[in-house]
Structure 1
Amino acid sequence: MTATDAPAPVLTATGVTMRFGGLTAVHDVDLTVHHNEIVGLIGPNGAGKTTFFNCLTGLYTPTEGTVTYKSSALPPKPHLVTKAGIARTFQNIRLFANMTVLENVQVGRHTRTKEGLFSALLRGPAFRRAEKASEERAMELLAFTGLAPKRDHLARNLPYGEQRKLEIARALASDPGLLLLDEPTAGMNPQETRATEALVHAIRAQGTAVLVIEHDMRFIFTLCDRVAVLVQGEKLTEGTADTVQADERVIAAYLGTPFEGAPGEEEAAEVAAAEARTEETQEGDQR
């Protein structure tokens, strides 16, 4: 395949900037993710990683820049981004605690079902066929993630590591071409972390590209084809694990060595507060 025949990147972010008032959380960040690729996004606390994720998934509309999925501009609405082909998990698990494991995954199928409210109320043949297909796909994903024996358990009763798996299974239920994982191994023990690494490789093997934020450097450098580093909202460098680990600027950033023009703790706290207010406003609008 020649360069001109190569498919467009799954994700292309160009010049993404996110400001909250006069505060800049992300500045002029470029990033691409190609088919069947696993890309890591790392950086010290407050580097802007989750803000950047939120810009990619429609939770935030970037102040500047563009985000495309397979060369098509993404709409600034999370459910439309999911429908387009990008799914995500969150740093803080967001399961429906009082629904079963199976029901949680079935919720993730809603962007891929065509039955409307009228059909659901009548519960006719088309609705029953769609419901059966949804359950079958959900069970495939529970088997894939090792959760099939827990299908009827309430999500809140699962161990922490299995709740993380369930969130991934629910994200996969939308049949994404790109999966974004935000701190997938947070709070996990070494055995659970290794299982997550194997799961991400299995997801890639099925044809889904992955972009992952993680603080566990061993996990990231073992897992990823490429790693991008954000520092103070800007992309510092990008490359293979070996290239990134050898970069003295990356080492300095993780040791807390300030860069010219680096924001102080007060400014970083202001950005965090602005992000929290934005998320609260959006959640209020969705109710």
Structure 2
Amino acid sequence: MTRLLEVSGLHKSYGGVRAVDDVSFSVGPGEVIGLVGPNGAGKTTLVDCIFGTQQADSGTVALAGAALTGPSERRARQGLSRTFQHPQLAAELDAVDNIIPGLYGHKITSPLHSLWWAIKGPFENWDRTAQRAREIAARYSVTDVESACGDLSLGAQRLVEVARAMATEPDVLLLDEPFAGADHDGIAAISGAVRSIAAQGKGVVLVDHNVDLIAALATKIVLLNFGSVAFYGPPQECLASDAMREVYFGSEFEEGA
């Protein structure tokens, strides 16, 4: 299989703590790689190192065979996009205005940045740009495009972030805990968006604590524990593995206990 994203031997330490320890995996077209593990396993640090929000100490990240180096802005231009654990939206603006910056390929680093691009965008093409944003919103099940994003449910806010990230037309999308705080309807909508993205031939790296939910969406699972890969393979094999039992229940866990 063609590999869109190739992560090889990534390391990241803070003092004597190895947050990411020799992590390798790949993402092919249409694949959803689930990244799971307990709190402190290194999931978000790994995503940060892949996207360039943090610089890895060693190892490589490649997209379509080309090395990804430098800051996240450069990696975004090369075809990588992401969402964040805490939605980075301009709360006072509606979904359309929050999606528009993605159409210009600008990495969103703060709500203020989003607001600035919504205000300073190319006014001569504003109607056409807004219509494109509405189409992207509809594609990813963002149904309320008129309310201020700060008034939306957390699940709806996360959908707006997904739509904005996909407006950049990435090859691979990194989703950092997109289901956190979402209600049942939000989880269903976000799951549908993930499936839609994969159906387009995009690669997805999906981080979350809900292992069963990840297993229902993922092609493969990367199970992290103390920064290292404890298991890498098909979801059902991961759920049934000794590694899963040891990571979540400890080495003394016994069947039926």
| TM-score, normalising length: structure 1 | 0.78
Q: Identity over the aligned pairs, expressed in percent?
A: 32
The alignment status of 1:50 with 2:22, answered yes or no, reads no
* 1:97 to 1:193, Cα distance in 2 relative to 1, 3 A: same
Query: How far 1:140 sits from its partner (Å)?
Result: 1.2
Provide the C-alpha distance between the structure 2 equivalents of 1:222 and 1:121, rounded to a whole number of angstroms: 41
User: Residue 207 of structure 1 is aligned with which of 201, 205, 210?
Assistant: 201
Cα RMSD over matched residues? 2.1
Query: How far 1:257 sits from its partner (Å)?
Result: 4.3
SS at match of 1:108: helix
SS at match of 1:54: helix
Specify the alignment match of 1:272 in structure 2.
none
| Deviations 1:150-186, CA, capped at 9 Å, x for gaps | 3232110112211111111111111111111111111
| Deviations 1:39-73, CA, capped at 9 Å, x for gaps | 10111110001000000001011101000111111
User: Residue 73 of structure 1 is aligned with which of 67, 91, 101?
Assistant: 67
Contact persistence 1:36–1:204 (CA under 8 A) = yes
Specify the alignment match of 1:274 in structure 2.
none
Specify the alignment match of 2:141 in structure 1.
146
* Structure 2: segments with no counterpart, 5+ residues: 107-118, 253-257
Query: How far 1:207 sits from its partner (Å)?
Result: 2.5
Superposition map of 1:78-117 within 5 A: 78-111=72-105
| Deviations 1:177-206, CA, capped at 9 Å, x for gaps | 111111111112233222221221111112
Provide the C-alpha distance between the structure 2 equivalents of 1:109 and 1:20, rounded to a whole number of angstroms: 36
The alignment status of 1:157 with 2:157, answered yes or no, reads no
Specify the alignment match of 1:243 in structure 2.
237
Contact persistence 1:137–1:173 (CA under 8 A) = no
SS at match of 2:105: helix
Contact persistence 1:229–1:238 (CA under 8 A) = yes
Query: How far 1:94 sits from its partner (Å)?
Result: 1.3
* 1:122 to 1:103, Cα distance in 2 relative to 1, 3 A: closer
* Structure 1: segments with no counterpart, 5+ residues: 1-5, 113-119, 259-287
Q: Larger radius of gyration, structure 1 or 2? A: 1
Q: Which residue type is aligned with residue 39 of structure 2?
A: N
| Deviations 1:192-248, CA, capped at 9 Å, x for gaps | 222221221111112221110111112111111111111100011111111101111
Specify the alignment match of 1:41 in structure 2.
35
Q: Which residue type is aligned with residue 184 of structure 1?
A: P
